[in-house]
Structure 1
Amino acid sequence: MNKIILLVALIASTYTTFAQNANTAKHTDGIQWISLQEAYNRTQKEPRKTIVDVYTQWCGWCKVMDRQTYTNPEVIEYLNKNFYMVKLDAETHEEISVGGQKYTFDAQHNANQAAVLLLQGKMSYPTTVFLDAQYNMIQPLPGYLDAKTFHQVITFFGGDNFKKETFDQYKEGTYKESFRATKL
């Protein structure tokens, strides 16, 4: 009888540890970054908005955003559920192909043509670019965003709230109501 109780306790303990680890893994796995071409291909099969994080190797604020914003569990969860996520080094010399269109390095802008197009020629880093499910530009948003502000922005665009209210209206109304329990 004692062996059965011990076995049940061991199984329960193992299951609890497994469940806790699985729950933690959901938040610590990080953002599922893919290439611009892969995001385009996935959008053709399963339409979803895309966010392109346009950065450079030398950009200090890009690194801060990577460390502080893109590691926030609420941000990670929302991004992975609602967007295709792309990291684009603006200064890459590698050719980028998207939907049959090829983009190469543009020496005049010291950036890849894809980055120049996404940033509408305004080369500022970091810039977060929002594309709709048909790969049309919604808006590029230049500058560093902390986790709280970024969460407000991604839910504003992710929930199509930008179609019905201004960002300030959203922050003061819909966001406060929808994400009251968010720990940002």
Structure 2
Amino acid sequence: MQKVKYFFILIAVSAFLFSFNPPKKEKIKWLSLTELAVAYQKQPKPIIIDVYTNWCGWCKVMDKETYGNDKVAAYINENYYAVKFNAESKDSAVLGTQKYGYNPAYKANDLAVYLLFGRMGYPTTVLLSSIDAQPAPLSGYLKPSELEPPLKFFGDGVYKNKNFPDFMKEFAAAW
């Protein structure tokens, strides 16, 4: 009887230990807007902002499948400052020298309204060549292969010498 009791305890402990999965570590080094301001002042580089909401199912899919992709994450970490921004945040937000607050008419933060040109759809990936540049929003779920060209257009600095359609004529996908 004693052996059976120890056997079941051993199985229960083993099941507990093997079922424990530590929280998954984010592959992309996401910054807050405050951290972005500090880092950008030290060393400017392009910015990617993931504009999302808590209720958005496609935002979660994009986090897992696109931002969780090793090649996407490595490229963003090397060439961009990455920020996640909850569009429905009621907290004030600062980007560059501009301060934004909550906008009840849109049920969203004015930073999201500015970045998305008032076209509130989630997820939206916003690319900025510099902190004060005009936003380039890419609305909707994007697969890694769909995100690659715009990421490289800004991340490799191609935007300085070429427009996007000309860039796409020569672009060779690697992801």
Unaligned runs of 5+ in 1: 1-27
Alpha-carbon RMSD? 2.0
Contact 2:51 2:85 (C-alpha < 8 Å) held by counterparts: yes
Q: CA deviation at 1:171?
A: 3.5
Correspondence for 1:122 among 119, 122, 147: 119
Unaligned runs of 5+ in 2: 1-24
Residue 148, structure 1, aligned to residue 136, structure 2 = no
Give me the whole-angstrom Cα distance separating, in 1, the residues matched to 2:156 and 2:85.
Answer: 24
Give me the whole-angstrom Cα distance separating, in 2, the residues matched to 1:163 and 1:50.
Answer: 15
Residue 61, structure 1, aligned to residue 64, structure 2 = no
Q: Which residue of 2 aligns with 1:137?
A: 134
1:28-177 mapped onto 2 (5 Å cutoff): 30-99=27-96, 101-173=98-170, 175-176=171-172
Q: CA deviation at 1:73?
A: 0.8
Percentage of identical aligned residues: 41
Give me the whole-angstrom Cα distance separating, in 2, the residues matched to 1:123 and 1:38.
Answer: 25
Q: CA deviation at 1:168?
A: 4.4
Q: CA deviation at 1:100?
A: 5.4
TM-score, normalisation: structure 1:
0.74
Contact 2:26 2:68 (C-alpha < 8 Å) held by counterparts: no
Give me the whole-angstrom Cα distance separating, in 1, the residues matched to 2:154 and 2:71.
Answer: 16
Contact 2:96 2:131 (C-alpha < 8 Å) held by counterparts: no
Give me the whole-angstrom Cα distance separating, in 1, the residues matched to 2:26 and 2:164.
Answer: 30
Structure 2 counterpart of 1:64, one-letter code: V
Contact 2:49 2:127 (C-alpha < 8 Å) held by counterparts: yes
Structure 2 counterpart of 1:76, one-letter code: A
**1:42-93 Cα deviation digits (max 9, x unpaired):** 1111111111111111112211111110011111111000000000000011
Contact 1:50 1:135 (C-alpha < 8 Å) held by counterparts: no
Q: CA deviation at 1:41?
A: 2.3
Larger fraction in helix:
1
Give me the whole-angstrom Cα distance separating, in 2, the residues matched to 1:34 and 1:113.
Answer: 19
**1:8-63 Cα deviation digits (max 9, x unpaired):** xxxxxxxxxxxxxxxxxxxx750000112321221111111111111111112211
